[in-house]
Amino acid sequence: MILPLFIIIPLLSAFLIAIVSGKKDNFANGLSIISALLLLFGAIYNFITQNQEVIIYKIGNWDAPIGINLVQDSLTIFMLIIVGLISLTSLIYSRQYIRYISTDWKYYSLFMFLITGMNGVIITGDLFNLYVFMEIALLSTYALVAYGGKAEEFEASFKYAIMGIVSSTFILVGIAITYSATSTLTLAKIAEQIPHINTKIVYLVGGIFLMGFGLKAAIIPFHTWLPDAHSSAPAPISAMLSGVMIKVLGIYAIIRIFYNIFGAPEFFLNIFMILGVISILIAGFLAITQWDMKRLLAYSSISQIGYILLGLGIGSTLGILGAVFHIFNHAIFKSLLFYNAGSVEMTTETRDLKKMGNLKKLMPVTSKTSMIASLAISGIPPFNGFFSKLIIIIAAIQSGHPILAALAVIGSIQTLAALLKVQRFGFHSENKTEVTENKTSFGMKFAMITLAFLCFAGAILIIPGIREVTLDPIVEVIKNNGEYMNMVLGR
């Protein structure tokens, strides 16, 4: 599938939904599921046919420094597949769940704008273009977080919007300084110019970008908006936000800017490592103290982002492999956990773990899939989360940071404790609830079972033989960071 289609399909369906659908949401839901399917299959098709080449689409046939380029390499396809997969299951899940809030097409239209923004951020090869697509994704999430229409949701959305605007402004300042130093906005051209400009400017711009994108990725000193926004949003949106959004706008942008453009300066890698470990420990601790199920999961997201950042900061091949694998795994099990939380909330109409009770018998599918996801996220073999965490910890030891490895193990135990709390109080407690009817519908069960299956199946990505085709090219893109510039500029 040619690259602009990844932006055109969701954008077109967003407007079609707004124009065509009447009062009911049947058409909107059908159309959005079809376009999410198209995006997923397009991404998989591109993965099969790519042969580890970099494909460049020149908009209007203008060459790199003048026009805007769309770039596709292994990392791009990997992120596109994650976005396609999670948005597809999210939309299938939404069909029943959103009717419980309202029957309106606006939700699906905003959802499609969200996908447009994220796909745009992933495939663009231009710094300012990245900013514009980021704003498209952010604007639709501000609206989607407040979709339920309760007082807390508006509060969370306002807080999120203010934080988002501050970080976006800083990113724009960073872009302005980069432009004035290098006289170009194309990512590959900036990478070419970076060795020739003053190192102090690189550090200044790096600091500003770290603050801006760190806020989007919710790394610990910048995390305050995330627990509110992610716990107040409707469950499918929480899954999109926690599973995909913080990785695309935060981690993916950090990888592109700090690795492919700046060439991974040692100074920033050390900062990533320290921030990663701080995120793991503090967010892990805060997660244990929560009694709101979705809030607990939101804090756990911050700690898992810490693992990804730690793996990236170590900077060895093994560390980056673990980080990339953990991006995929976390997208799957955290989305699954949010779906579980959503169906529990729909049935019992509460998110408070103390008020839940013996849901194991009432909701067998939800209970079992959430058990699988909890084991996967806390790193119990044979699930996928075990392998990625193990790789990151081994990489930390190999690169001579045994203390960081030990702290990462402690963080894993914290995650296990937090998620066991959900299992113990949410699904297996003695406490009898008065709810007798399980409102989980077929679509919701389907989404949950698919992701639970992927928790098992995701582990095969790491088997030697499969790893060479799937994960290793991505590690190659991040590790050989000068290669991106040469490939895009056609050398």
Partner 1 sequence: MILYLLCFTLLLVGLYGILTKRDLIKIILSASIMGYATNLLLILFAYRNGSIFPILRKGVETMPMVDPLPQALVLTSIVIELGTTALLVALALKLFQKYKTYDITKIRKLSG
* Contact residues: partner 1, CB under 8 A: 128, 132, 135, 139, 142-143, 146, 151-152, 154-159, 161-162, 165-166, 169, 172-173, 175-177, 179-180, 185, 227-228, 232, 286, 289-290, 292, 295
DSSP assignment of 276-295: HHHHHHHHHHHHHT--BHHH
Nearer to partner 1, 114 or 185 (CB): 185
Among residues 485, 481, 484, which one has the least CA distance to residue 182? 485
Among residues 90, 82, 68, 66, which one has the least CA distance to residue 4? 68
Do 338 and 444 form a contact (C-beta atoms < 8 A)? Answer: no
Nearer to partner 1, 270 or 289 (CB): 289
Helices (H), 263-383: 266-288, 293-314, 317-348, 359-362, 364-377
55's enclosing H/E stretch is strand 55-58
3-state DSSP assignment of residue 71: strand
SS3 per residue for 382-415:
CCHHHHHHHHHHHHHHHCCCHHHHHHHHHHHHHH
Return the exposure string of 339-358: e unless at least 16 CB atoms fall within 10 Å of the residue's CB, then b: bbbbbbbbbbeebebeebbb
Do 3 and 119 form a contact (C-beta atoms < 8 A)? Answer: no
Nearer to partner 1, 77 or 156 (CB): 156
Nearer to partner 1, 76 or 414 (CB): 414
Least separation in angstroms between residue 439's CB and partner 1 is 25
Nearer to partner 1, 48 or 151 (CB): 151
Least separation in angstroms between residue 324's CB and partner 1 is 31
Q: Burial level of 123, CB count in 10 A (0-12/13-18/19+)?
A: buried
Least separation in angstroms between residue 132's CB and partner 1 is 6
Q: What are phi and psi of 174, to 5 degrees?
A: -60, -45
Q: What would you report as the CA-atom Rg of the chain, rounded to the nearest whole angstrom?
A: 21
Nearer to partner 1, 181 or 257 (CB): 181
Least separation in angstroms between residue 136's CB and partner 1 is 9
Angstrom CA distances, 224 to 163, 218, 438, stand at 9, 8, 34
Least separation in angstroms between residue 162's CB and partner 1 is 6
Nearer to partner 1, 155 or 468 (CB): 155
Least separation in angstroms between residue 115's CB and partner 1 is 18
Least separation in angstroms between residue 329's CB and partner 1 is 27
Angle at 315 between CA 242 and CA 385, to 5 degrees: 40
* Rounded CA separation 474/482 (Å): 14
Least separation in angstroms between residue 164's CB and partner 1 is 8
Structure tokens at 226: 């995330």
Least separation in angstroms between residue 414's CB and partner 1 is 17
Nearer to partner 1, 47 or 128 (CB): 128
3-state DSSP assignment of residue 72: strand
Helices (H), 422-480: 442-457, 467-470, 472-479
Do 392 and 340 form a contact (C-beta atoms < 8 A)? Answer: no
Least separation in angstroms between residue 32's CB and partner 1 is 22
Nearer to partner 1, 295 or 445 (CB): 295
Which conformational region is residue 305 in: left (phi greater than 0), alpha (psi within -120 to 50 degrees), or beta? alpha
Least separation in angstroms between residue 143's CB and partner 1 is 7
Nearer to partner 1, 37 or 417 (CB): 417
Nearer to partner 1, 31 or 156 (CB): 156
Q: What residue type is 480 in one-letter code? A: N
